[in-house]
Amino acid sequence: MTSTFLNISTDTTLGGSSASDSTVASQKAIKAYADNVVSGKQDTSNLVTSVSASSTDAQYPSAKLFYDTCGDIETLINAL
């Protein structure tokens, strides 16, 4: 769909310091902007796949570790 009435912008900074109320960002520009904003947000340097006595509060478990631990707890409870 195209329009001759809209001023379509492909600026992936969504206007940056010269944003305007008279332009509309293209779908591709919005996607590029969002991809850039969220890229690298997860710091995997503190991601752990096992928990031990030396684990710290700064670490966070992977989803698989959490799932495996819950499964182990469920197995122990069922064995009682």
pLDDT, tens digit, 9 for 90 and up, residues 31-73: 988 888 877 676 778 888 888 888 888 888 888 888 888 887 8
Q: How many helices (H) and strands (E) does the chain have?
A: 2, 4
Distance CA 33, CA 25 (A): 10
**Confidence at residue 28, expressed as pLDDT on a 0 to 100 scale:** 92
Dmax over CA atoms of the chain, in Å, equals 72
Nearest CA-CA partner of 62 in 73, 77, 54, 51: 51
pTM as predicted: 0.44
CB-based burial of residue 33 (10 Å sphere; 0-12 exposed, 13-18 middle, 19+ buried)? middle
